[in-house]
Amino acid sequence: MNDEWEARVTEAWRALDAYGEAEFRALIDHLVAELKEDDPVGPFERACAFDSTGHSDRAVPLYQEALAKGLAGYRRRRALIQLSSSLRNVGRPEEGVGLLTPELDAPSDELDDAVRACLALCLADLGREREGLSLVLGALAPHLPRYQRSMGNYARLLVADTPA
């Protein structure tokens, strides 16, 4: 994998809507075929292609393979978010919660809000809507032009233990 390969993958993703589902997955497969067989980026990109074309069930094992092969860095965090979302889509939200909860304490990056949004969806599917809403409000609050403090407090109060 090199900068030229990354640029071609980026361009393929930019043009996703110009392709049919099978055509797009074939394009990603063609690019992945250029990687070494044990490269974790291959199953990750293939998982993303299945996910983006509505096949969460086929994406799940590929995300798991990528992570098992040692997917690292930014792609690793993306894989955790996307795998959790796919697990939720196939009726396994508790596994998504298990994957994303540790990410709340991971070093901060631009994916923090996506972690919280996906985790909130998984929690809602488990009947834990207040926790999910708390996460979403907490993620939204810093982006508001006003009321950041109030919304942050409301987010905390949604999950605070209330005295009997």
Q: Say which CATH class 3-90 falls into.
A: mainly alpha
Q: What letter represents residue 111's amino acid?
A: L
Helix and strand numbers (H, E) in the chain are 9, 0
Query: What is the pLDDT confidence band of residue 162, given thresholds at 50, 70 and 90?
Result: low
CB 89 within 8 A of CB 52: no
Our CA dihedral for 101, 112, 28, 72, rounded to 10 degrees, sits at -70
Q: What is the pLDDT of residue 127?
A: 97
**Distance from C-alpha of 105 to C-alpha of 80, rounded to nearest angstrom:** 14
What is the pLDDT at residue 163?
54
DSSP state letter for 163: P
Q: Determine the pLDDT at residue 1.
A: 66
Q: Give per-residue pLDDT as tens, 74-123.
A: 999 999 999 999 999 999 999 999 999 999 999 999 999 999 999 999 99
> For the segment 62-77, what is each residue's pLDDT rounded down to a tens digit?
999 999 999 999 999 9
The yes-or-no verdict on residue 16 having pLDDT over 90 is yes
Residue 2 C-alpha from the chain's centroid: 24
* Residue 11 reports pLDDT greater than 90: yes
Q: What is the mean pLDDT of residues 27-50?
A: 97
pLDDT digits (tens, 9 = 90+) for 118-156: 999 999 999 999 999 999 999 999 999 999 999 999 999
Name the pLDDT band for 161 (thresholds 50, 70, 90).
confident
